Amino acid sequence: MKFKEIIELLPYQKPFLFVDELIEISENGISGNYTFQKNESFYEGHFKDNPITPGVILTETMAQIGVVCLGIYLLKDKISSEKKPKIALTSNQIDFFLPVLPNEKVTVISEKEYFRFSKLKCKVKMFNDKNELICRGTIAGMIIAK
């Protein structure tokens, strides 16, 4: 399955799609990136005169790249444009270390902990262009082909 096909199978669209490109993928993990454009709607009120990407959006970005894209890849033999994946976040625990500003590009690296009974759990990390750790943690979700 090609990277572009995985992104096209995501159940998101702008303005809630936080995947620009996938860099690497295997049965054990994935990496990809996203650039937060300065005109993203959430910057208007977070924070006044000092926009910072909300932690919930950083978590969503890590989930989209690190869990959902990987899950689509792992289910590649069961998913198609007619049989799209059903996805639900089940848990997350994220520690934040640095802010993400408008126009900043981030890279997400995810390592599969396990995938069984339709539950995928991954260790995820997010880095900036200087390769500084922005946040890290675990995210789990249910992914099935229906």
Catalytic residue ranges? 46
Compute the distance between CA of residue 128 and CA of residue 93 in angstroms, rounded to an integer.
Answer: 20
Neighbouring CB atoms inside 10 A of 114's CB total 10
- The structure tokens listed for 118 are 């339709």
